[in-house]
Amino acid sequence: MLTLLEQLDKGTLWHSPGGIHPPGLKTTSNTQSIKRLPLAKEFIIPIPQVGDLATLTVKLNDHVLKGQMLTNGKGFTYLPVHAPTSGKIKAIEKRSSNHASGLPVLCCVIEPDGEETWTPLQADQASLLSNDAIINKIKDAGIAGMGGAAFPSHIKLNPASDINLVIINGVECEPFITSDDRLMREHANEIIDGVKIIHQLLKPQRIVIAIEDNKPQAVASMQKSIETLTLDDCKIRVTVIPTKYPSGGEKQLIQIITGNEVPSGAIPAQLGIVVHNVGTAYAIQDAVTNGKPLIERVVTLTGEQIGQPGNYWIPIGTPIKHALQHTAFQAQTQQKMIIGGPMMGYAIGELQVPILKGTNCILAPSNNEIGPDLPEQACIRCGECAVACPALLLPQQLFWHAKSEEFEKAASYHLQDCIECGCCSYVCPSDIPLVEYYRIAKSALKNVAHEKKQAEQAKLRFEARLKRLDDEKQAREAKSKAAADKRKQSMSSNDKDAVALAMARIAAKKKASAAEPGTESSTTANKKASVNAAIERAKAKKAAKAAQTDGPSVVIPSANTDTAVTDNTDVDPKKARVAAAVARAKAKKAAQANPQPEANLVSQSQISSVTATDSENTATPVIADSAEYAVVDPKKARIAAAVARAKAKKAAQANSPSSAQSTAEAVQIKTKQETTTETTDPLSSAVADNTQISEKTVIADSVDNAIVDPKKARIAAAVAKAKAKKLAQSQPKSHQPANQEVVSNDAVDNARVDTVQELSSSQPAIGTNEAPAMAELDDKKARIAAAVAKAKAKKLAQQQQKD
């Protein structure tokens, strides 16, 4: 059995599926040699890669030379763009593109100067250059596939795998197009020189020049050029294949020459095969040998509406309108203008678009050659499209899914393997433009793939951001921990103990603040009661022993009357002590039977211990000024504390009645200046049936002849502070009196204790009817009695001391 290479040497051909046999119509343009057209008034050079892969190397109004590079960039698929002639940069703007969509693309517009001045060219001998140098020259020349796809040639010439076969495509199966035919006839030697450069780069074992049997002159010209050609370890031959469309397709031609089918999604290089167009081979030779970039190509202008059909060397960027004007174009009604052949070409709606590197034909057919588009009809499922498909696809299935915009289902039927040859549309009896549906579906799938790629990239960026934030967080935590460990290591034992104690205090404070305000444990209440009893006993004992000549006056609850009774009765010391003991017992019993909140407990430290006698040594009873009997204004409490401190200070300094008198006057002035509000006495409210409370002027206690005990003054100050603090904590705003009053010492000196007791006894009937209020009044009576007893005891002791 012969090997593939041996079969290639014999010229064995294989059959390719599908295909059609449309009329060639090539004689219209291939009978004359290639010509040139006059220079256009302007050249439009598309630069779509600028911004993505390239940068523009010129600016507006710059003068450029023929062949000068206009862009510079990097990238695998980047191709530079060159000036097709010398002249000035007229504009850099968006112009309509040479595409079926006609969308604008960035272009560099050159106004030629007519001198055709070349940029300096670097001519080389290919055999003396390295492969990398040759590939770089091909890339710098901007050479792309000249068969219509315009794929960068330097990529094909630098494959990743070994190449065994190189096919030079001269089939040119599309009707009307004859540019390759004329190029092979007139420039066969240059094409073969390009083939030799390709051989130098790829080192294949076989080179096959494939030409259709409808081009006998081209076959003869190419056959003559290779007769004297000798290539190392390689055989080259011209193979003539039958005329059938689309035999010139890359995959179809490989199947015809080798019998191997390129798998779906694969490229020919994976099979060890590379295919190049004859026009590409010519451009490679011109770039490597002569140093010329790809700035012109052979274009077929044909169709019955063109008066001078033929093939022309046309610079890249020449407006199509200029080419038609110089070939006697006559437009008809509803004139079609097709770029490419009638099978795979596309129609354009504007003539002021440039010729590109892949533009091989401009077709201006008459209605006799290509009739107007017929209305689309329903598919009759004849299956002719499937028979004609060279890729063995199911065009009707692709059509249904593409029309229904079910692009994913269309992709499942291998839509990407469609070469858009147009065979299905050509044979369709319903005149359905199937290829147009496939192109739309391919574009939609491309957009979906692009969006999916962007979403994946966005996801990667988001995950990278989360990882970065997490790393930063861990770094901060590690840094903080390291700093804390360092501080802990450098901390002494005393510092550690201080920190521990501080933390313990903070924890205790938080625990105490979490408890309900106003509550107090039974242990704390019992302890306070014991303390109060001890203070009471100490004060009673001291009153019995102490000898005081004078004492300060105190404020007692007003009974809403101006009369006062003075108690001048002599008191037996023994009876006074008994009365004091009885009063303490009653107070203790009342406190146990009816426990009060902390804010309402009467502390003995809150009772004004002793009242000073006047100049006649008359004793005045001391009334306990507790939270139950008088609601103390916090401001007045602070004033009282300040007055007491002043008394204590001046008493320590004064040794004569005159100094005491000056102290009393100062206190009286300070009290009149600072006291502005009034205090409502609960006893007065009770006597008046909780009606209107009289407002009285705040009169400072006269201490003209008083000698103040410093210790008692400090006690009075402490009592005042305690009153203010407990009042602010416990007294509800709704229970605060509207008016307050302070009674002068003149009224106190004339008040009798019996009157106070009567008022106290009558208070429950006048007050509220609630049980807690009754209990409070009983407790008040007990404390009043205790205070009266102490006052009497002190008075008796003073009298005995005088005697």
pLDDT digits (tens, 9 = 90+) for 303-333: 999 999 999 999 999 999 999 999 999 988 8
pLDDT digits (tens, 9 = 90+) for 563-621: 333 344 444 556 666 666 766 676 666 666 554 444 333 344 343 333 333 433 333 33
Residue type, 734: S
**Distance of alpha carbon 557 from alpha carbon 584, whole angstroms:** 21
End-to-end CA distance of the chain: 159
CA angle 551, 556, 560 (to 5 degrees): 140
Q: Which two tokens stand for residue 37?
A: 């057209």
Environment class of 489 (CB within 10 Å of its CB; exposed 0-12, middle 13-18, buried 19+): exposed
In total, the chain counts a number of residues equal to 803
173 marked as part of a ligand binding site: no
Name the residue with tokens 């201006």.
Answer: 364
Distances (CA, A) of 261 to 15, 256, 268, 483: 11, 9, 9, 70
Annotate 761-795 with DSSP letters as a single string: HHHHHHS-S-HHHHHHHHHHHHHHHHHHHHHHHHH
pLDDT score recorded for residue 117: 95
pLDDT score recorded for residue 735: 41
382 marked as part of a ligand binding site: yes
361 marked as part of a ligand binding site: no
Query: In sequence order, what are the beta bridge partners of 89?
Result: 110
423 marked as part of a ligand binding site: no
Report, as an integer, the average pLDDT of 704-716: 53
pLDDT score recorded for residue 321: 95
What is the pTM assigned to this prediction? 0.61
- Cβ count within 10 A of residue 574: 10
pLDDT score recorded for residue 572: 59
Q: Give start and end residues of each alpha helix (H) in 629-737.
A: 634-653, 657-674, 682-687, 710-730
pLDDT digits (tens, 9 = 90+) for 224-243: 999 888 887 788 999 999 99
**Distance of alpha carbon 586 from alpha carbon 56, whole angstroms:** 110
pLDDT score recorded for residue 526: 60
pLDDT category of residue 626 using cuts at 50, 70 and 90:
very low
Percent of the chain with pLDDT over 70: 67
pLDDT digits (tens, 9 = 90+) for 424-461: 999 999 999 999 999 999 999 999 999 999 999 999 99
Name the residue with tokens 């003209």.
Answer: 704
**Distance of alpha carbon 572 from alpha carbon 587, whole angstroms:** 22
- Cβ proximity of 312 and 303 under 8 Å: no
Conformational region of residue 787, where left means phi above 0, alpha means psi within -120 to 50, and beta covers everything else: alpha
Percent of the chain with pLDDT over 90: 51
pLDDT score recorded for residue 19: 94
379 marked as part of a ligand binding site: yes
**Distance of alpha carbon 236 from alpha carbon 255, whole angstroms:** 19
Residue 541 above 80 pLDDT? no
**Distance of alpha carbon 45 from alpha carbon 531, whole angstroms:** 107
Report, as an integer, the average pLDDT of 701-706: 37
DSSP code for 104: E
Distances (CA, A) of 422 to 56, 269, 389: 38, 26, 9
User: In the chain, what are the domains?
Assistant: 4-347 (3.40.50.11540), 373-484 (1.10.1060), 542-632+675-702+727-802 (no CATH)
**Distance of alpha carbon 198 from alpha carbon 196, whole angstroms:** 5
Residue 349 above 50 pLDDT? yes
pLDDT digits (tens, 9 = 90+) for 36-72: 999 999 999 999 877 667 889 999 999 999 999 999 9
- Cβ proximity of 665 and 646 under 8 Å: no
**Distance of alpha carbon 671 from alpha carbon 273, whole angstroms:** 117
pLDDT score recorded for residue 776: 55
- Cβ proximity of 212 and 243 under 8 Å: yes
pLDDT category of residue 724 using cuts at 50, 70 and 90:
low
Nearest CA to 699 among 795, 558, 565?
558
DSSP code for 32: S
How many CA atoms lie within 13 Å of 772's alpha carbon, on the beta-carbon side?
5
428 marked as part of a ligand binding site: yes
Annotate 350-382 with DSSP letters as a single string: -S--B--TT--EEE---TTTSPPPPPP------
